[in-house]
Structure 1
């Protein structure tokens, strides 16, 4: 195992960077999309139910099946990987964003509107900051989930550490097959833990002390 790591340390580092880059960029894109949809939906019970239903149903779709469907229009490569990872990343964030925004005390919103704040200003300065801890919890769940889905994206030749896992599994019993599988798996777990720590720090920096207390 040690010789395998040393001989391929450059490739492992590059694939790890690609994996993290794919996950981080897709989670950021998913966050923007999910919060935008939540802002449109949270004031309407019907749209809120639709958003929650979409989140629940979307999570039941097997990632292999979705990647297989995306192969037809987009072929192999980065595009189906990005679409699949972004889709799954958006689902927990959407659910938490709707819950967080809907849970903001309406008296605070009405007070803000009463002193002359516009709807957009109230959303940006009152509602989103108060809902942010709940939204961030969804982002953390989403990030951990799509770290594994990004590995499965290697099935469509997506970037990342999944190539080590699939390469090892396809050669089980062969030389270094187990090493490749273990390296890919362990590296993904470690990167997931690192990203979660980063998100915890982001939460401390972006959440006001009064809300944390």
Structure 2
């Protein structure tokens, strides 16, 4: 088994590198899009209990839809390939970031923002200079969770001809019984796990570099 796996990896190195790059690239881009949307939503609703509950409930509802079902709904509307993949990943990535944005902004001491306004800072200035930096560790945690979720969901997006390592897994599973079926599916799965761990480590480094020592403490 190990020799078959090594032979498969050795003979497909270039394609595996391309598939790995596409997988990571797609996940990062979709999480960034989701972050922009989620942070804007969080800023709009975090002061309103009803708005916060509604935003969280709607984004939670998306996670109750099975990946295959959501992709199946999107394919007739936007076709195969990148469009349904991006839409699905962005929708699935929203909940952790929205929830953490609301928690992060809502946990800021009102006295801090009142003091900033007291020295003449406007609402947008307070948001950009005080609130978002204080909420950043929470937002980054949401991004971290969404990234890990998206790494697995993107594999399923191969059903819609999406990019990445999922195609390798699906191809292997469709050829069960052939000599390369198990190495192919196993290689795709292991690479996704390894890449997910690497991205998680990168998030930890980003958090340490972008969070002030006071917030670390």
TM-score, normalisation: structure 2 = 0.96
State the 1:54 CA deviation. Answer: 1.6
**Distance in structure 2 (CA, Å) of the matches to 1:105 and 1:57:** 31
Say which SS state the counterpart of residue 11 (structure 1) adopts: helix
1:82 aligns with 2:76: no
2:183 equivalent in structure 1: 179
Say which SS state the counterpart of residue 91 (structure 1) adopts: helix
1:91 equivalent in structure 2: 95
Where structure 1 has 5 or more consecutive residues not aligned to the other structure, the ranges are none
48-57 vs 198-207, greater mean Cα deviation: 48-57
TM-score, normalisation: structure 1 = 0.98
CA RMSD in angstroms, aligned pairs only: 0.8
1:169 equivalent in structure 2: 173
Answer whether contact 1:55 1:95 (CA < 8 A) is retained. no
Answer whether contact 1:41 1:98 (CA < 8 A) is retained. yes
How big is each residue's C-alpha offset from its partner over 1:58-112, in whole Å with a ceiling of 9 and x where there is no partner? 2211111111100011111111001111111122111111111111111111111
1:135 equivalent in structure 2: 139
**Distance in structure 1 (CA, Å) of the matches to 2:98 and 2:80:** 28
1:200 aligns with 2:204: yes
1:4 aligns with 2:8: yes
**Distance in structure 1 (CA, Å) of the matches to 2:67 and 2:99:** 19
State the 1:3 CA deviation. Answer: 0.9
**Distance in structure 1 (CA, Å) of the matches to 2:9 and 2:15:** 9
What is the aligned residue count? 213
Show the 5 A alignment for 1:59-70: 59-70=63-74
**Distance in structure 2 (CA, Å) of the matches to 1:11 and 1:3:** 14
State the 1:174 CA deviation. Answer: 1.4
**Distance in structure 2 (CA, Å) of the matches to 1:18 and 1:121:** 38
2:37 equivalent in structure 1: 33
How big is each residue's C-alpha offset from its partner over 1:37-57, in whole Å with a ceiling of 9 and x where there is no partner? 101111111101111212322
**Distance in structure 2 (CA, Å) of the matches to 1:91 and 1:63:** 15
Answer whether contact 1:67 1:84 (CA < 8 A) is retained. yes
